[in-house]
Amino acid sequence: MRSSDSTARKLACALRYDGEAAPAPRVTAKGWGRIAEKIMDRARQEGIPLHHDAVLARLLSAVDVSDEIPEELYRPVAEVLAAVYRAAANSTEQLDS
C-alpha cells in the first residue's frame, strides 16, 4: 500500500463535552485523509488524547459538525470519555507522587 493510500483512508472525528453546557458531546471537527491528519496533529499539540476506533469514527462522521451526538452513540462515547478521564487522572497522580 502506498503512503497516499493510507492517508486517504484515515478518518478523524473530534468531540467536545461540557456537561454543564450541553447534555451530550458535540462533534467539533471531522475529516478524511489530510484533514484527518491535521485534526490528529492538532490534538497531539494541544495534549488531547487520541482514541482509535474505526467503527465509532465512521458513525460519528455521519454527525454534522457542531451537532450533538445521537442517543445511540451515548454509551460508546461515554466509554471512551471514561477511559480518557481515567488515564488523565492516573497521569496526574503519577506527577503528584
Query: Per residue in 56-93, pLDDT tens?
Result: 999 999 999 999 999 999 999 999 999 888 887 877 55
Q: Which three cell numbers stand for residue 49?
A: 488524547
Question: CATH number of the domain that 29 lies in?
Answer: 3.40.1690.10
C-alpha cell at 85: 478521564
Whether residue 54 is predicted with pLDDT greater than 60 in this model: the reply is yes
**How far is 63 from 58, CA to CA, in rounded Å?**
10
pLDDT of res. 42: 96
Average pLDDT over residues 5-19: 84
Looking at residue 19, its pLDDT comes to: 86
Can you read off the three cell numbers belonging to residue 81?
470519555
Distance CA 25, CA 17 (A): 4
Is it the case that residue 11 has pLDDT exceeding 80? Answer: yes
How far is 40 from 37, CA to CA, in rounded Å?
Answer: 5
Which pLDDT value is given to residue 8? 62
Nearest to 65 by CA among 14, 19, 21: 14
